[in-house]
């Protein structure tokens, strides 16, 4: 079974997981699960100045939260580790030696200033800025002289004249001419490998069969294929998918709003909704289906579909999906997921006995579009946590409102029985006494009990508050006039 597909997600821990990268991870994961292959997580942390351990931790957490489980990775090992590039430096060093011995690579002593000067002069003469190979032909003596003068070399790949062609599984035939590519750095002067160098060695040694990534890496693929050839490695199949765009059709970035998985998580989105949305983005599945479970998405996945789904990120649609998934959660599951948000909004569970809190949450369940706004929905159940809206004040200012409320209260005095029965009877009493019905009857009660003109069903509100608290709130309104 050596030909089972092996794919990888290879994030650099230089920031929170971007939804675009999460979509790349999702495509790789779905491909692996659809084909019965393996999904490998590799951390590309060779950019020491930008890689942070905290980002590595949050990347793993976000992937786990999304449910994109990996078969091999830094935390769980595997037959082809280590899975962190910073732990593989000796492997890159050995491969550099091979290229140097074959004279396919050479040390370059140019300083940043010299390289910048070359770039500017190429731009001025309207030529493509690239490294023109100044250090390619240095003699051993010249090299020794530069090193004696304290220069530390970077190492460059000797780009051979070549046409690079490959069949992208999403984009079809792709062709590059190598003369547009200057000799590129494979190992920096600080000893760290460049992305293109490390990725080729790792993908080869980790037996990756398919590289599925964003189209922003398309031109890197040309450099990588040249390295595959230089080492005599068989390249994997490549599939470059489109990127997620903002409303202005530019690549989705921070200025468009929330772009990281962590932000959506903190804003109370469910992983089910985000995964479904990222899988759907830009199109629908067969039969126009838009709501799919993980299993259904795996089943329906094809690279062909991924190709069509470069699209504008539509937060409204994501919100709609989120509301759908929240509505479908069993209430105990919802309670569990709400816990951090309740704590954050300082609605500690102790503030209300659990049975009541559960009822309060059930009464607003269908209204929730994300978990983080739970506080705004249940504040009406907590004395002192809500304030009457202008609309509610207007309702209460009508002369008939006080008649309704005082008739309602009249019944409450000494009433006994289940709250829902007391509520129905009190409303009946108020109806009889005032001759009002419909909105005119219940709106003042709603406004007085909840400070709002909209909200959960009134009998539920009354039951959750209990007759005593409800009575207190109604009398308070009467007192305030």
* Closer Cβ to ligand GLU, 92 or 442, answer by number: 92
Closest distance of CB 213 from ligand GLU, Å: 4
Residues 12-41 binding ligand GLU (CB under 6 A) are 12
Closest distance of CB 465 from ligand GLU, Å: 52
Measure Cα distances from 160 to 90, 99, 242, 418, 428 in Å.
26, 13, 30, 86, 91
Residues 307-326 binding ligand GLU (CB under 6 A) are none
Per-residue b or e along 241-277, where b marks 16 or more CB atoms closer than 10 Å to that residue's CB:
bbbbbbeeeeebeeebebbbbbebbeebbbbbbbbbb
Q: Which of 5, 6, 11, 294 binds ligand GLU (CB under 6 A)?
A: 11
Residue with tokens 């750095």: 185
168 binds ligand GLU (CB under 6 A): no
Tokens of 71: 């078969």
44 binds ligand GLU (CB under 6 A): yes
Q: Single out the segment in contact with ligand GLU by CB under 6 A; choices: 4-12, 186-194, 235-243, 432-440.
A: 4-12
Number of residues near ligand GLU (by CB under 6 A): 7
Closest distance of CB 470 from ligand GLU, Å: 57
Instruction: Provide the 10 A C-beta neighbour count for residue 310.
Output: 18
* Closer Cβ to ligand GLU, 10 or 326, answer by number: 10
Per-residue b or e along 119-144, where b marks 16 or more CB atoms closer than 10 Å to that residue's CB:
eeebeeeeeeebbeeebeebeeeebe
Backbone CA torsion sign across 449, 452, 455, 457: positive
* Closer Cβ to ligand GLU, 11 or 471, answer by number: 11
DSSP letter, residue 104 = S
Q: Which of 84, 213, 305, 473 binds ligand GLU (CB under 6 A)?
A: 213
Q: Which of 97, 98, 254, 472 is catalytic?
A: 254
> Is the preceding peptide bond at 82 cis, omega within 30 degrees of 0?
yes
204 half-sphere exposure, CB direction, 13 A CA radius: 20
* Closer Cβ to ligand GLU, 223 or 434, answer by number: 223
* Closer Cβ to ligand GLU, 22 or 154, answer by number: 22
Distance in Å from the first CA to the final CA of the chain: 81
Q: Which of 217, 356, 358, 365 binds ligand GLU (CB under 6 A)?
A: 217
H or E segment at 41? Answer: strand 38-41
Give alpha helix (H) positions in 171-214: 195-205
Closest distance of CB 318 from ligand GLU, Å: 23
How deeply is 235 buried, as exposed, middle or buried, from its count of CB atoms within 10 A (0-12, 13-18, 19+)? middle
* Closer Cβ to ligand GLU, 205 or 415, answer by number: 205
170 binds ligand GLU (CB under 6 A): no
Closest distance of CB 336 from ligand GLU, Å: 33
Q: Single out the segment in contact with ligand GLU by CB under 6 A; choices: 10-18, 132-140, 354-362, 420-428.
A: 10-18
Dihedral (Cα; 388, 389, 394, 395), 10-degree rounding:
-70
Closest distance of CB 93 from ligand GLU, Å: 20
* Closer Cβ to ligand GLU, 237 or 291, answer by number: 237
Closest distance of CB 217 from ligand GLU, Å: 5
* Closer Cβ to ligand GLU, 119 or 217, answer by number: 217
* 433 given a catalytic annotation: no
* Closer Cβ to ligand GLU, 224 or 460, answer by number: 224
Q: Single out the segment in contact with ligand GLU by CB under 6 A; choices: 6-14, 377-385, 459-467, 470-478.
A: 6-14
Q: Which of 10, 261, 378, 445 binds ligand GLU (CB under 6 A)?
A: 10
Q: Single out the segment in contact with ligand GLU by CB under 6 A; choices: 9-17, 268-276, 278-286, 467-475.
A: 9-17
Residues 182-211 binding ligand GLU (CB under 6 A) are 199
Closest distance of CB 278 from ligand GLU, Å: 16
Listed residue (239, 240, 230, 250) closest to 183, CA to CA = 230
Contact 75, 270 (CB under 8 A): no
Listed residue (362, 480, 369, 466) closest to 417, CA to CA = 466
Tokens of 388: 């009457």
218 binds ligand GLU (CB under 6 A): no
The SS3 call for residue 242 is coil
Listed residue (449, 353, 358, 347) closest to 408, CA to CA = 449
Q: Which residues are catalytic?
A: 254
Q: By the criterion CB under 6 A, which residues form the site for ligand GLU?
A: 10-12, 44, 199, 213, 217
């Amino acid at each position: 079974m050596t030909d089972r597909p092996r794919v990888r997600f290879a994030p650099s821990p230089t920031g929170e997981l971007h939804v675009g990268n999460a979509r790349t991870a999702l495509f790789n994961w779905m491909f692996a699960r659809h084909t019965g292959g393996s999904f490998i997580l590799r951390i590309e942390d060779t950019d020491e100045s930008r890689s942070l351990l905290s980002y590595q931790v949050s990347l793993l957490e976000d992937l786990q939260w999304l449910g994109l489980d990996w078969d091999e990775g830094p935390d769980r090992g595997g037959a082809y580790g280590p899975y962190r590039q910073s732990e593989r430096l000796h492997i890159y060093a050995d491969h550099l030696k091979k290229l140097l011995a074959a004279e396919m690579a050479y040390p370059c002593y140019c300083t940043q200033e010299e390289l910048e000067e070359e770039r500017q002069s190429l731009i001025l003469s309207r030529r493509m800025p690239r490294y023109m190979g100044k250090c390619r032909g240095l003699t051993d003596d010249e090299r020794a002289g530069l090193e004696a003068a304290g220069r530390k070399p970077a190492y460059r790949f000797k780009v051979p004249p070549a046409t690079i062609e490959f069949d992208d599984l999403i984009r079809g035939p792709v062709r590059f001419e190598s003369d547009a590519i200057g000799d590129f750095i494979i190992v920096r002067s600080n000893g760290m490998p460049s992305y293109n160098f490390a990725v080729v060695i790792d993908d080869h040694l980790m037996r990756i069969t398919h590289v599925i990534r964003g189209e922003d890496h398309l031109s890197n693929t040309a450099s990588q294929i040249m390295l595959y050839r230089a080492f005599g490695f068989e390249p994997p199949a490549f599939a470059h998918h489109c990127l997620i765009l903002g409303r202005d059709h530019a690549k989705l970035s921070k200025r468009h709003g929330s772009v990281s998985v962590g932000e959506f998580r903190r804003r109370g989105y469910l992983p089910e909704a985000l995964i479904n949305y990222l899988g759907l983005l830009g199109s629908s599945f067969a039969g126009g289906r838009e709501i799919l479970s993980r299993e259904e998405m795996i089943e329906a996945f094809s690279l062909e579909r991924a190709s069509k789904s470069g699209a504008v990120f539509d937060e409204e649609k994501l919100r709609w999906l989120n509301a759908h998934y929240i509505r479908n959660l069993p209430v105990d599951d919802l309670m569990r997921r709400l816990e951090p948000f309740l704590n954050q909004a300082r609605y500690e569970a102790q503030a209300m006995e659990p049975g009541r809190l559960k009822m309060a949450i059930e009464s607003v369940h269908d209204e929730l579009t994300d978990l983080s706004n739970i506080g705004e929905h249940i504040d009406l159940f907590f004395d002192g946590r809500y304030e009457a809206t202008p609309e509610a004040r207007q309702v209460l200012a009508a002369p008939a409102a006080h008649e309704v409320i005082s008739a309602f209260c009249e019944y409450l005095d000494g009433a006994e029985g289940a709250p829902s029965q007391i509520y129905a009877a009190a409303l009946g009493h108020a109806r009889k006494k005032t001759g009002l019905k419909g909105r005119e009857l219940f709106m003042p009660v709603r406004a007085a009990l909840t400070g709002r003109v909209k909200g959960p069903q009134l009998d539920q509100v009354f039951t959750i508050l209990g007759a005593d608290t409800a009575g207190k709130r109604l009398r308070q309104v009467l007192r305030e006039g």
